[in-house]
Structure 1
Amino acid sequence: MVDAGSTGSRIHVYRFHQCSDHEPVTLEDEELFAQTIPGLSAYPDHPEKAAESLDVLLNDAVKVVPEHLQRKTPIAVKATAGLRLLGQEKSENILKAVRHRLETKYPFPIVGGEDGVAIMDGRDEGVFAWITVNFLLGHFDRSDTHTAAILDLGGGSTQIVFEPDRLPDGRLPELPDNDFKYVLKHEGREYVLYQHSYLGYGLMEARKRMHQQILSHLPEDVSQEERDEIFHACLPQGLTWKYSKLAEPIHFKGLGAYDDCLGIADLILNKEKECELAPCSFNGIYQPRFGESFTQGPIYVFSYFYDRTQPLGLPASFRLPELAALTESICNGEFLENVTDIALRDEILDRPEWCLDLSFIYRLLSFGYEIPHTREITVAKKINGVETGWCLGAAIAILGDNSLKEEAH
């Protein structure tokens, strides 16, 4: 399974055990996990180069999968938000080049027809991640535990998926019959899930939005001298930082102002947008109230939620006030003053957007999704040694593909 993400591409090679259709799938091992930077979307006008960027991963897979099984080992390439944001023509050219390279250079059969090398629907991305986490936690094997909610934060988008609590009489909750409702049939059971993928609210896109929010308050006739010193609440106090993602580069001057930075994050979450189908989370999107509709199961977050909190020592299980305190200490500089680890100190100094990233993450969870401050949140890169994210769930879904079984015999 190749995860063609917005900031890089990753490959997972899994070994499963299933002797018959009636037997539950068990995961024997994750034989390979490897990644490469940048992602396919870094080559918008060079589709062949995009396809070639996957060679380093596919060559590793050829070494790992026994030669006599290679033509029976299916492959799928699923692109996510980064490629979606390129537009249809450029993304299709890249996907065609990837498919051609797979078919002509590698032994693995592409599974799923046209969907075998494709941009993944945001609905599936979240639900596959939900399957991954609950599969690894063993929740599909037991009926006496509530499934976990999952929140994923990529570069281009963020996803939330959860199974709302059953009603007091044991009935499934009523969800509107629209894109937010996902009825999943898995190993003989039916799950009614709420899901949504917020395109444009991944961490890299959120950074752009927050910088743009600062710039949107500048007068049109701003002088060059003023462009060289634009105050930014979310950058470290006293730092002058060149922002070059504009036609004319500008310089931000950091203020390290925690409360003001949270305010900028709140603005981009767009809570004021009209909510056509209530209740809404943010940006006018329908979502059952999290604190009322999901009271039983655990909450798991991963991807950039992990990457931005764990190097700073946030516990693997935390509550939102702990994240708020960490964010404030990063923004006002106190955290850096007490860092003795030289590598961590260099990492913080080298990445001026730590305060911005953490402020967005904290407000996404607390203000956007409205997770209660009393709830425990678990951040996990791996569960039982296996990577979280959507890849394992997508692979498990492929195992239910009957056409694949016919090919494999």
Structure 2
Amino acid sequence: MWKPRSSVLPLSDHDNAHLKQRSRRLARMFRSGRFLTAAVAVGCLMGFLFVWHYSLNPDNGHQVVPSGKEAVKPGAVADTSSFECTKSYDGKTPVEQYVVMIDAGSSGSRVHVYRFNNCQAMPRLMGEEFKMIDGGLSSYADDPVAAAKSLDVLLKVALDSIPENQQGCSPIAVKATAGLRKLGDKKSEIILGAVKKHLEDNYPFPVVKNGVTIMPGEEEGVYAWVTANYLLGNIGTKEDTPTVAVFDLGGGSTQIVFEPKWKDASKQLTAGDHRFELSFGGRDFVLYQHSYLGYGLNEARSKINSLATESQINGSQLPESLVHPCLPPGSSKSFEVEVPDGTASLDGPVKTTKKVLFKGSSEPSPLQCRALAEKILAKDAVCANPPCAFDGVHQPPLFEAFPSTSEMYVFSFFYDRTFPLGMPSVFTLDELRDLQNKVCKGPDAYSSFTAIRGAVDAIKEHPDWCLDLSYMLTLLRTGYDLHGSREVKIAKKINGNELGWCLGASLPLLDGVDWKCRETAG
């Protein structure tokens, strides 16, 4: 099915052991033969094994191309009526399959119900049902049963979307991200255990083996890259189509994934946790990836608010209100902030959480706000493997390693904080700075937003919108060192399907390797 490919880059014994352990985990996820072309054996002995290879040979009798139409591109969502067959391509899987994927994020939970057609060698995505709710599993830290039941409204979408006689053979997985990681191993394991039991006891869907879990950050980013490039049709064929870079900003973490392409062909990506190798559709990819835990938008707000507080208090005494450069003039908002309680331990001052009332300064302060954002990025952290982006993390410079003609997609909170204010689908970082300056100026500058339904009310209701845009701009410009003239694309969906890691994580579940149909199936 596959066999290791020798790595040309030396690794230390420690790195080798770590990467082999992760390779074994990923190999279990992508070991099924339906996603492999028999003529191609791929893998990586000392790198990351992400094997997932679709065959696109058109000479199999089960391939169905609509009459008078071209074959649908790999990522395109086809018209259901375009694919008709009485037997699936491999003769084993059903003609139609569903996968239920729940994204248990730090800001809320989301369900994706994917419908696939198996008439062709590559499963075709035919449709998706999506719903999200506010409040992640981590908000039920001390009530695991309530955490599990909080998913019921999402699971109803799955029940309503999948025919009853197919529910018992439609796998479900729940993957938690940064928010649950923060609770620690014990609490998160109890919550995930309660979720798994709730699914098995009360719902007909087969739960994927090890499918109710906290997803490692590197997989979150790579799955998002696969999703975006699959939906765009950039991967899935042997054509050397340029791929897009993805920047995903969640509540607790942020991810960057791209395929380095230097003008100097002799340059290559160095060994380390940032290097991720995968084979897909007859092509081999070497990706740069990193997941920054603690640098999602919610975490950034907390860190910036703490910095704004610490510079204005003396000891543990809090004044009635504090000035915040990241709030527009005339606005105010209360935040929960960690402040010293006046005592100390061996680790330093002991902190406690208090509610602090912040008020905007008498004049706009977008530069001072960005200065706070720069400080939390730790650009001056020790860089053991230069060059580094921020927080001491190695990253090849994007202006050198990623073609200026290739697209960069920014999504999740990047989209949620720009699109509602009328930003187009493509804009430069200089234009993002202009938006940040305008929002941070306050109501006197909001007249241009009146043509955008709901924009003015949204900004007034959430005065920390200025802080959010300031952090996003700083993350892209200073953190990732992108030029102000660099264009980025915002998107929530491509071809009608949600961006993010969920689709990329759902595709390998179609082979039934880590789940079995429930007896309740009709």
Give yes or no for the alignment of 1:132 onto 2:132.
Answer: no
Tell me: CA distance 1:297–1:229, structure 2 relative to 1, closer, same or farther (3 Å).
same
Equivalent residues of 1:266, 1:367 under 8 A apart = yes
Matches within 5 A, 1:164-243: 164-165=260-261, 168-169=264-265, 174-221=268-315, 223-224=317-318, 227-243=319-335
Deviation string 1:84-140 (CA, Å, 9 cap, x unpaired) is 1111111100000000011111111112x22x0000010100000000000000001
CA distance in 1, matches of 2:481, 2:449: 32
1:205 partner amino acid: E
More moved, 152-161 vs 137-146: 137-146
Counterpart in 2 of 1:249?
A: 355
Matches within 5 A, 1:44-59: 44-59=141-156
- SS of corresponding position for 2:172: coil
Deviation string 1:257-291 (CA, Å, 9 cap, x unpaired) is 01111111111111011111101001111111111
CA displacement at 1:376 relative to structure 2: 1.7
CA displacement at 1:187 relative to structure 2: 2.7
Equivalent residues of 2:262, 2:402 under 8 A apart = no
1:315 to 424, 430, 443: 424
Unpaired stretches in structure 2, ≥5 consecutive residues: 1-100, 339-352
Q: From the two aligned structures, give the one with the greater helix fraction.
A: 1
2:461 to 350, 357, 363: 350
1:230 partner amino acid: L
2:126 to 6, 13, 28: 28
CA distance in 2, matches of 1:400, 1:124: 19
Counterpart in 2 of 1:73?
A: 170
Equivalent residues of 1:145, 1:297 under 8 A apart = no
- The alignment yields a C-alpha RMSD, in angstroms, of 2.1
Matches within 5 A, 1:379-394: 379-394=490-505
Equivalent residues of 2:320, 2:357 under 8 A apart = yes
CA displacement at 1:352 relative to structure 2: 1.1
Deviation string 1:29-86 (CA, Å, 9 cap, x unpaired) is 11x1011221111100000000000111112211110111111111110001010111
CA distance in 2, matches of 1:219, 1:8: 33
Counterpart in 2 of 1:362?
A: 473
Tell me: CA distance 1:152–1:201, structure 2 relative to 1, closer, same or farther (3 Å).
same
CA displacement at 1:152 relative to structure 2: 0.3
Instruction: Give TM-score, length-normalised by structure 2.
Output: 0.73
CA displacement at 1:337 relative to structure 2: 4.1
Give yes or no for the alignment of 1:335 onto 2:428.
Answer: no
Equivalent residues of 1:24, 1:187 under 8 A apart = no
1:302 to 395, 399, 411: 411
Counterpart in 2 of 1:86?
A: 183
Equivalent residues of 2:168, 2:517 under 8 A apart = no
Give yes or no for the alignment of 1:18 onto 2:118.
Answer: yes
Counterpart in 1 of 2:242?
A: 146
Matches within 5 A, 1:96-135: 96-111=193-208, 113-114=209-210, 116-135=211-230
| Greater Rg over alpha carbons, structure | 2
Equivalent residues of 2:103, 2:110 under 8 A apart = yes
- SS of corresponding position for 2:396: coil
CA displacement at 1:248 relative to structure 2: 3.7
Tell me: CA distance 1:222–1:80, structure 2 relative to 1, closer, same or farther (3 Å).
closer
More moved, 123-132 vs 135-144: 135-144
Matches within 5 A, 1:395-406: 395-399=506-510, 402-403=513-514
Tell me: CA distance 1:192–1:89, structure 2 relative to 1, closer, same or farther (3 Å).
same
CA distance in 1, matches of 2:103, 2:283: 28
More moved, 53-62 vs 185-194: 185-194
Tell me: CA distance 1:232–1:403, structure 2 relative to 1, closer, same or farther (3 Å).
closer
Instruction: Give TM-score, length-normalised by structure 1.
Output: 0.93
Deviation string 1:326-360 (CA, Å, 9 cap, x unpaired) is 10111112532443357322211110101100000
Q: How many residues align?
A: 400
- SS of corresponding position for 1:283: coil
CA displacement at 1:167 relative to structure 2: 5.7
Equivalent residues of 1:228, 1:252 under 8 A apart = no
CA distance in 1, matches of 2:291, 2:327: 28
CA distance in 1, matches of 2:504, 2:152: 24
Counterpart in 1 of 2:72?
A: none
1:325 to 434, 448, 470: 434
1:27 partner amino acid: L
Equivalent residues of 2:169, 2:516 under 8 A apart = no
Deviation string 1:351-390 (CA, Å, 9 cap, x unpaired) is 0101100000001011101122232211000001110000
Give yes or no for the alignment of 1:43 onto 2:170.
Answer: no
1:391 partner amino acid: C
- SS of corresponding position for 1:205: helix
CA distance in 1, matches of 2:190, 2:276: 30
CA distance in 2, matches of 1:340, 1:187: 47
- SS of corresponding position for 2:449: coil
Tell me: CA distance 1:400–1:220, structure 2 relative to 1, closer, same or farther (3 Å).
farther
CA distance in 1, matches of 2:250, 2:202: 30
Equivalent residues of 2:171, 2:207 under 8 A apart = yes
CA displacement at 1:220 relative to structure 2: 3.0
CA displacement at 1:189 relative to structure 2: 2.3
